[in-house]
Amino acid sequence: LARAALGLVLILVVPGLLAGRWFGVRGLPAVLGVVPALSLAMNVASGLILLAVLRRPLDPAMAWATVGLSTAAGGALLWLARRR
Query: Is the whole-model pTM more than 0.95?
Result: no
Over the stretch 19-68, which tens digit does the pLDDT of each residue have?
999 999 989 999 999 999 999 999 999 999 999 999 999 999 999 999 99
- How does residue 84 score in pLDDT terms, banded at 50, 70 and 90? confident
Q: How far apart are CA 66 and CA 43, in angstroms?
A: 6
